[in-house]
Structure 1
Amino acid sequence: MNILVTGSTGTIGSLVVQGLAAQGASVHALTRNPDKASFPAGVTAVKGDMTDIPSMRAALKQVDTLFLLNAVVADEVTQAIGTLSLAREAGIERIVYLSVLNSDTYTDVPHFTGKYTVERMIEQLDLPVTVLRPSYFMQNDARLRDGLLQGRYGMPVGDVGISMVDVRDIAEIAVAALLRRANAPTPLPREVIEIVGPDVLTGDALATLWSGVLGKPITYAGNDLAAFEGFMAGIMPSWSAYDLRLMLARFHVDGMLGKPLAMKTLAGLLGHPPRRYRDFAAELALAWQAN
Structure 2
Amino acid sequence: MTILVTGSTGTIGSQIVTRLAGQGAGIRALTRSPEQARFPAGVVPVKGDPSDVEALRAALAGVDTLFLLVANVPDELTQAFVTLNLAREAGVRGVVYLSVFKSAEYADVPHFAGKHTVERMIEATGIPATILRPGYYIQNDLRQKDALLGHGVYAMPIGSAGVSMVDTRDIAEIAAQELLRRDRSEASLPSETIDLVGPDILTGPALAGIWAEVLGRPVRYGGDDLEAMEQRMKAFAPGWLAYDMRLMLRRYQQDGAAATPAALERLTALLGRPPRSYRDFAVEAAGRWAAASGPDAAP
**TM-score tier after normalising by the smaller chain length:** over 0.9
Query: Which residue does 2:260 correspond to in 1?
Result: 259
For residues 25 and 184 of structure 2, the distance between their equivalents in structure 1, rounded to whole angstroms, comes to 10
Paired residues, what number? 291
Query: Which residue does 2:250 correspond to in 1?
Result: 249
Q: Conserved in 1, the CA contact under 8 Å of 2:6 and 2:49?
A: no
2:148 corresponds to 1:148 = yes
Q: Secondary structure at the match of 1:261?
A: helix
The gaps in structure 2 that reach 5 residues or longer are 293-299
For residues 26 and 269 of structure 2, the distance between their equivalents in structure 1, rounded to whole angstroms, comes to 26
Structure 1 runs (4+) deviating above 3 angstroms are none
For residues 75 and 45 of structure 1, the distance between their equivalents in structure 2, rounded to whole angstroms, comes to 24
For residues 156 and 90 of structure 2, the distance between their equivalents in structure 1, rounded to whole angstroms, comes to 43
Q: What pairs with 1:210-249 in structure 2 (closer than 5 Å)? A: 210-249=211-250
Q: Secondary structure at the match of 1:44?
A: strand
Q: Secondary structure at the match of 2:35?
A: coil
Q: Secondary structure at the match of 2:208?
A: helix
For residues 62 and 93 of structure 1, the distance between their equivalents in structure 2, rounded to whole angstroms, comes to 11
For residues 235 and 282 of structure 2, the distance between their equivalents in structure 1, rounded to whole angstroms, comes to 27
Query: Which residue does 1:56 correspond to in 2?
Result: 56
Query: Which residue does 1:104 correspond to in 2?
Result: 104
Give the TM-score taking structure 2 as reference length.
Answer: 0.96
For residues 240 and 89 of structure 2, the distance between their equivalents in structure 1, rounded to whole angstroms, comes to 33
Query: Which residue does 2:91 correspond to in 1?
Result: 91
For residues 174 and 19 of structure 1, the distance between their equivalents in structure 2, rounded to whole angstroms, comes to 9
Query: Which residue does 2:297 correspond to in 1?
Result: none
Q: Conserved in 1, the CA contact under 8 Å of 2:22 and 2:42?
A: no
Deviation at 1:126, TM superposition (A): 1.7
Deviation at 1:49, TM superposition (A): 1.5
Q: What pairs with 1:1-291 in structure 2 (closer than 5 Å)? A: 1-150=1-150, 151-291=152-292
Q: Give percent identity, aligned residues only.
A: 59
Deviation at 1:22, TM superposition (A): 4.0
For residues 261 and 22 of structure 2, the distance between their equivalents in structure 1, rounded to whole angstroms, comes to 33
For residues 279 and 152 of structure 1, the distance between their equivalents in structure 2, rounded to whole angstroms, comes to 19
Deviation at 1:62, TM superposition (A): 3.1
The gaps in structure 1 that reach 5 residues or longer are none
- Residue type of the alignment partner of 2:267: L
Q: Secondary structure at the match of 2:87?
A: helix
Tell me which moved more, 242-251 or 61-70. 61-70
For residues 3 and 207 of structure 1, the distance between their equivalents in structure 2, rounded to whole angstroms, comes to 41
